Structure 1
């Protein structure tokens, strides 16, 4: 049952791309990576040479250039961004597979989002994903202004088109690992995140990512939920952020003088930040039933070297989080490039 799904348990930017890449690197044998969602969120990871890649369309788990990449029917493609990232990565085109039914974002979709005021009203990136979702659901209704476009009808995508569900199914019969790289986080989920209308245009659970991939739940043996020590939301009127604080306050509490401020990959806006909220993560656990939980951004508790030398402050922080979410943390991220296993008697890779 070789399907791994990586999803976020907060408001996105938890480090899903890094974790998906880690799973790929720990897998023996060939791997296929599926990217669901669209370019309204960025995924970041570092390749083996230490180069940072912030990608909006290609999955972060592909940056070693050694996996097949699939965009299934439940993906939303900005063709210009896709081709730019393929060129930047120098990715082998024969290893990219796009469903005939994948959704293509048009200039009409992006213009509609700008004119609808969604950027200011809900903190939307204006990337056109929401409009493309609406156009698909409208099914060419005569009184709806947006039209859907699918990959099969876009000339530049013809060489990448495949029956992706059948190809993925055939790979599963050969025990080939599939890693689904989900996007955004549970708190942004359209159906069950709890913050509608300050939400994204799709459901962001593991089940939804699997459905967007066109695969059966019978093959899933690994669900990884990624959370961060201090959750974020994008700037502006993006919705409630329980226990909101400031980047300066986090640095001050950690005894750090460096600038911790984060900016969004897509819009470059300063992210809002909050203290850890156990209630949201508990709901995310209930909806996703993860096999593994990864806690990233542990370096916001203090300099990494100090934390690894004296694990007591980390242990207290982790114990508190495990108590409020009712689950053990399995992996930690102390930097943007790696994860370590949970061994509070000593850190093991």
Structure 2
């Protein structure tokens, strides 16, 4: 029985909290794509955990955590994050598995990531996290990448590694000005020979592992990283990540049995945020945007960059649904809108005087669209922050949530009304609307 949790916007929707809640009764929490460019925050028992490469299910002791074949892993970060989790009291013994087919992010890749951003220049840069994700996936697609399995045939690993360095030097020179000289090459090789031994207890054939788990009817939570609008195929290309952050990426990245998928939950923030470059139709450049950023604490978990903020874009979310086929929606941070007398929602785009229904495929057109807003009254006099039931909400709030459901054609099965794990109001029946709750 598999539940997939996916970001439905530009990322940072708050997936970590839902993963944490659902993992209370899960056997496995698995990552299928991306790397340490992800950032999921979980607040549990008064402790805040920031996960990047490790799955968020690590908080729950009965839950085994799998880093799948579609993930790219920076091994030093893996061990750093593991030690940080252990220092906060988490028992991780025997609870983390990493696929032997996952590709390795080298320090070399991180260096190249920064160089490629510099090549693009300030006005055309993608705004990556500079964590080496793009160059690693590029090597994967070019069929000259390094995988976890390569660590255990050392001569092959070293040969491939040196070939990578030689290739990048042809492009960028010797990289001495970027702290990747001959000494750095030899030092990284020494480190990886040591990492091979340290990593061995965690390494599994994830295809076999996940197949057996599915056959045993284990409850599997797939923790999506990034979000649909950052997907390499369906996002705002080229301002995207380098992996498939979509439903398809989950299936290929973990060798999931599609017939075992029970739920596909899209996580939607009650407004829209984005980190890095790229078009953003509802972005606000006024005091309202600043207010949303301040109240919502919109700072990136991974990059610490301030997030760009704007009103909820339902055109974008509807497009996201058409790709990922959500069975329900988790609406997060609705409480942040407590502060506003008027709330706007983008329900169409206008381009060159024409109303369009489709989400544009090219970034140039998307950058030109004008959002067509519909205004809704706020519920400032009846705030929902920290409420425990929709019976405590005003009719104005209920109507607003119901409108989102009707526009998207998907039930909202849970709503976030605060930062902690208990600040999640869930439907009484899985997959049904939270608005149908009787209590």
Whether TM-score is above 0.5 comes out as yes
1:279 aligned onto 2:311: no
- The corresponding residue for 1:317 is 400
How far apart, CA to CA, are the structure 2 residues paired with 1:291 and 1:89?
32
How far apart, CA to CA, are the structure 1 residues paired with 2:229 and 2:208?
32
> Which residue, out of 246, 250, 265, partners 1:209?
250
1:347 deviates by 7.9
Query: How many positions carry a matched residue from both structures?
Result: 330
Q: Does the Cα contact within 8 Å between 1:45 and 1:61 map onto a contact in 2?
A: no
**TM-score (ref. length: structure 2):** 0.70
How far apart, CA to CA, are the structure 2 residues paired with 1:216 and 1:10?
25
> Which residue, out of 279, 282, 301, partners 1:240?
279
Q: Does the Cα contact within 8 Å between 1:261 and 1:271 map onto a contact in 2?
A: no
125-134 vs 200-209, which deviates more?
Answer: 200-209
- The corresponding residue for 2:22 is 23
- The corresponding residue for 2:85 is 89
Q: Does the Cα contact within 8 Å between 2:29 and 2:56 map onto a contact in 1?
A: no
1:78 aligned onto 2:114: no
How far apart, CA to CA, are the structure 1 residues paired with 2:284 and 2:11?
17
Please list, as runs of the form range in 1=range in 2, the aligned pairs for 1:159-178 lying within 5 A after superposition. 159-178=201-220
Point out which structure has higher relative CO (alpha carbons under 8 A, 6+ apart).
1
- The corresponding residue for 1:44 is 41
Q: Deviations over 1:265-323 (max 9, x none)?
A: 12111100111111111111111111221100111111798224442332232133223
Please list, as runs of the form range in 1=range in 2, the aligned pairs for 1:115-194 lying within 5 A after superposition. 115-117=115-117, 120=122, 121-140=125-144, 148-154=145-151, 155=196, 156-193=198-235
Q: 1:186 to 1:119 in 2, by over 3 A?
A: farther
> Which residue, out of 248, 259, 268, partners 2:304?
268
Structure 1 residue ranges, 4+ long, deviating more than 6 angstroms after superposition: none
Q: Deviations over 1:54-112 (max 9, x none)?
A: 11111122223331111121111111221122112224232211111111100111111
Higher radius of gyration, 1 or 2: 2
Q: Does the Cα contact within 8 Å between 1:152 and 1:158 map onto a contact in 2?
A: no
Q: Does the Cα contact within 8 Å between 1:180 and 1:210 map onto a contact in 2?
A: no
Unpaired segments of 5 or more residues in structure 2?
Answer: 152-195, 340-379, 427-432
1:344 deviates by 3.8
**TM-score (ref. length: structure 1):** 0.88
1:23 deviates by 1.4
Q: Does the Cα contact within 8 Å between 2:6 and 2:223 map onto a contact in 1?
A: yes
How far apart, CA to CA, are the structure 2 residues paired with 1:225 and 1:182?
10
How far apart, CA to CA, are the structure 1 residues paired with 2:101 and 2:258?
21
1:326 deviates by 2.6
How far apart, CA to CA, are the structure 2 residues paired with 1:288 and 1:320?
21
Q: Does the Cα contact within 8 Å between 1:251 and 1:258 map onto a contact in 2?
A: yes
152-161 vs 37-46, which deviates more?
Answer: 152-161
Q: Does the Cα contact within 8 Å between 2:101 and 2:205 map onto a contact in 1?
A: no
Alignment partner of 2:5: what SS? strand
Q: CA RMSD in A?
A: 2.3
Q: Does the Cα contact within 8 Å between 1:12 and 1:184 map onto a contact in 2?
A: yes
How far apart, CA to CA, are the structure 2 residues paired with 1:325 and 1:262?
25
Alignment partner of 1:94: what SS? coil
Please list, as runs of the form range in 1=range in 2, the aligned pairs for 1:97-108 lying within 5 A after superposition. 97-108=97-108
Q: Deviations over 1:10-68 (max 9, x none)?
A: 0001111111121112x3xx511111221112011112x12111111111222233311
- The corresponding residue for 1:249 is 288
Unpaired segments of 5 or more residues in structure 1?
Answer: 141-147
